[in-house]
């Protein structure tokens, strides 16, 4: 195993306990990650979606890690899923975005909210790679505020018809199925969630969004829905309860991003260690210059400051899942996840910035692996809940009812 | 920055023949991928200008390749040193041959890379090096099997 990841796994195993089967899964994840190094870097340079990610994850049966074995997944608990995402995170957030959206925002949401029939129909395909999921909540006028969503649906004989636009949708142009949120036409309250087949008439990819600061290896699209038919049985959760579905999905997604950020910090640490112990300036290795050491110390501290926040949030989430009737546990898991995502995404960005500094001029080159992390990681402070939304959630969880900044 | 790579491949040719070709600069010259110019200097060495491309970093590298420590038909060393486009590289590799009829070739290579290319880091470079090495050995295997028919 990659040494920094192996030390994480060993420490978690020592303190929390990991079963043989769980360790074996992480070995497989390590092999898959090694196999993706070249394609991920090549596609980053070419600014293209890394189509090797679904291919390699499929080959190693890693497309349904948190999905129950009953539906063809690996049945990983949240802590194991976090470690899996941590390893993938070393490749960068492009890989994480694909895996997080497909598994956490997509498949897990169906596992959490779907009917038995929906789980049988979709999860087996998602775990095998025959289906790829996207999560379509954001719109041009509705980012952090899902209440502003303009997409609407009408009831139509055998089901529903949905119309509107969804913006900045990861996996948008490659998804076979999407979880889409819409209000009933003329009544912009009581949001509902639907599972939409991308082959349905009226669905189109309006634009592949390639003019991004980073995250080039992730697919991002502007999608259009023009009277897209949805069968009655593809309503996800109860009609009018879509906001619960949306928030619970984001909670899954946040933990995935936070875990991926641990991997980013590990890779930054690996890169700066190698650079500092091989590059000579002013007659000595740059690692012997104390101001360079300060950056290395900070990256190592960033990683350790985030690691157990993420693992703790993962364990809290499993605890909450085991007692669904306990709202206190769910709120605590929500709070811990927000803290883990808030801290780890900012510290991953800071680590990438410091890694660029240690690399000097070459670090500023777009072909530098640390520059890739810098441009990729910035989005982690925005998507799946901005820094500011995380701050509001954390603060209101401390202050209590009546202090929520938004309804 | 240093890289340590190992591997093995099976070649459908007799060991003596494999050894003879692998230590012949005239044969090696025909198997080098990305070669723009190759000049065989003597029975031990050749000089080549290679266009090495790692992702978008394309370097023109002038390399001196030398065969050393021949122990026929079991092993030999191939040493390469070169520089260009802001990068320098030094490779020391040893191959050993076993078997009769089909020859198993095992190899170990240590590469030292400095300059611009080193900035990519060993994680990325290792991936590219493994990919390139598999191309080189596929070329060598094809070349030897073709030459041995």
Q: What are phi and psi of A215, to 5 degrees?
A: 55, 40
- Facing B131 at nearest CB: one of A34, A38, A279: A38
Q: B112 to each of A79, A270, A378, how far by Cα in Å?
A: 39, 18, 34
Pick A145 or B76 by higher pLDDT: B76
Q: What is the pLDDT of residue A101?
A: 97
- Mutation target vs B (from A30, A263, A270, A362; most B CBs, 10 A cutoff): A362
Q: How far is B148 from chain A (nearest CA, A)?
A: 34
Active site (catalytic) residues of A: 384
Separation between Cα atoms, residue A43 and residue A314, nearest integer Å? 31
Alpha-carbon distance of A94 to A372, in angstroms, equals 10
> pLDDT tens for residues B5-27?
998 989 999 999 999 999 999 99
Q: Pseudo-torsion of CA A363, A366, A372, A377, nearest 10°?
A: 90
Alpha carbon A319 to its chain centroid, in Å, reads 21
Q: Closest to B123 (Cβ–Cβ): which among A37, A45, A368?
A: A37
- The DSSP annotation for B137-149 comes to HHHHHHHHHHHT-
Per-residue pLDDT reduced to its tens digit, A295-324: 999 999 999 999 999 999 999 999 999 998
Whether the Cβ atoms of residue A146 and residue A178 lie closer than 8 Å to each other: no
Interface of A with B in 335-394 (CB under 8 A): 359, 362-363, 365, 367-369
Bridge partners of A195? A179
Is residue A271 within 8 angstroms of chain B, CB to CB?
yes
Range A169-193 burial, b when 16+ CB lie within 10 A, else e: bbbbbbbbbbbbbbbbeeeeeebbb
Cβ separation B120–A367 shorter than 8 A:
yes
- Within 10 Å of residue A22's Cβ, how many Cβ atoms? 20
Q: How long, in residues, is chain B?
A: 149
Taking residue A42's Cβ as centre, other Cβ atoms within 10 Å add up to 20
pLDDT tens digits, A231-244: 999 999 999 999 99
Scanning B70-109 for CB atoms below 8 A from A yields none
Q: Indicate if ipTM > 0.85.
A: no
pLDDT at A276 over 80: yes
Which pTM value belongs to this model?
0.90
Query: Radius of gyration (Cα) for chain A, nearest Å?
Result: 21
Cβ of B119 under 8 Å from any chain A Cβ? yes
Q: How far apart are CA A64 and CA B146, in angstroms?
A: 46
Q: Please give the full DSSP string across chain B, using - where no structure is assigned.
A: -EEEEEEEEEESS-HHHHHHHHT-HHHHHHH-TTEEEEEE-SSSEEEEEEEEEETTEEEEEEEEEEEEEEETTTEEEEEEEEEETTEEEEEEEEEEEE-SSSEEEEEEEEEEEEEGGGGGHHHHHHHHHHHHHHHHHHHHHHHHHHHT-
Give CA A102 to chain center in angstroms: 9
- Cross-strand partners of B65: B46, B80
**Amino acid A202: pLDDT:** 96
Residue B45 has φ and ψ, to the nearest 5°, of -145, 160
Cβ within 8 Å, pair B55-A42: yes
Say whether residue B133 is in contact with chain A using an 8 A CB cutoff.
no
Tell whether the model's pLDDT for residue A193 goes beyond 70. Answer: yes
């Amino acid at each position: 195993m990659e040494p920094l990841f192996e030390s994480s796994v060993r420490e978690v195993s020592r303190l929390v306990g990991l079963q043989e089967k769980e360790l074996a899964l992480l070995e497989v994840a390590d092999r898959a990650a090694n196999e993706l190094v070249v394609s991920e870097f090549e596609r980053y340079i070419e600014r293209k979606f890394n189509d090797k990610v679904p291919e390699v994850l499929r080959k190693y049966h890693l497309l349904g890690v948190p999905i129950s074995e009953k539906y063809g997944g690996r049945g990983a608990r949240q802590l194991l899923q976090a470690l899996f995402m941590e390893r993938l995170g070393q490749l960068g957030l492009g890989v994480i975005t694909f895996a997080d959206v497909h598994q956490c925002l997509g498949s897990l949401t169906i596992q959490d909210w779907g009917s038995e029939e929906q789980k049988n129909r979709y999860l087996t395909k998602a775990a095998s790679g025959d289906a790829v999921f996207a999560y379509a909540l954001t719109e041009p006028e509705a980012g952090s505020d899902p209440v502003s969503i303009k997409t609407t649906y009408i009831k139509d004989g055998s089901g529903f018809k949905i119309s509107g636009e969804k913006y900045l949708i990861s996996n948008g142009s490659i998804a076979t199925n999407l979880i889409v949120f819409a209000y009933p036409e003329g009544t912009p309250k009581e949001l509902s969630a639907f599972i939409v087949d991308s082959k349905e008439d009226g669905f189109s990819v309006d634009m592949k969004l390639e003019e991004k600061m980073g995250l080039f290896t992730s697919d991002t699209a502007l999608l259009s829905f023009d009277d897209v038919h949805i069968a009655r049985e593809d309503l996800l959760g109860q009609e009018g309860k879509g906001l619960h579905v949306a928030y619970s999905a984001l909670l899954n997604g946040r933990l995935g991003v936070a875990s991926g950020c641990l991997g980013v910090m590990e890779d930054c640490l690996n890169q700066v260690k190698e650079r500092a112990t091989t590059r000579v300036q002013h007659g000595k290795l740059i690692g012997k210059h104390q101001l360079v050491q300060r950056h290395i110390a900070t990256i190592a501290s960033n990683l350790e400051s985030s690691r157990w926040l993420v693992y703790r949030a993962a364990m809290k989430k499993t605890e909450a899942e085991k007692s669904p009737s306990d709202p206190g546990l769910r709120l605590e898991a929500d709070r811990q996840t927000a803290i883990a995502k808030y801290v780890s995404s900012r510290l991953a960005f800071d680590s990438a910035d410091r890694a660029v500094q240690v690399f000097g001029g070459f670090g500023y080159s777009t072909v530098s692996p640390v520059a890739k992390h810098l441009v990729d990681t910035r989005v982690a402070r925005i998507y799946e809940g901005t820094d500011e939304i995380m701050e509001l959630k954390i603060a209101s969880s401390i202050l209590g009812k009546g202090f929520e900044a938004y309804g | 920055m240093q890289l340590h790579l190992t591997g093995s491949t099976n070649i459908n040719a007799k060991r003596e023949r494999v050894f003879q070709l692998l230590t012949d600069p005239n044969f090696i010259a025909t198997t080098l991928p990305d070669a723009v110019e190759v000049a065989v200097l003597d029975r031990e060495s050749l000089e080549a200008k290679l266009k090495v491309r790692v992702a978008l970093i394309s370097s023109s590298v002038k390399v001196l390749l030398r065969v050393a420590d021949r122990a026929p038909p079991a092993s030999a060393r191939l040493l390469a040193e070169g520089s260009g486009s802001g990068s320098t590289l030094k490779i020391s590799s040893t191959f050993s041959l076993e078997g009769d009829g089909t020859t198993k070739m095992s190899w170990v290579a240590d590469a030292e890379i400095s300059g611009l290319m080193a900035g990519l880091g060993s994680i990325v470079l290792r991936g590219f090096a493994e990919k390139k090495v598999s191309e080189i050995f596929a070329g060598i295997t094809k070349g030897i099997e073709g030459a041995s028919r």
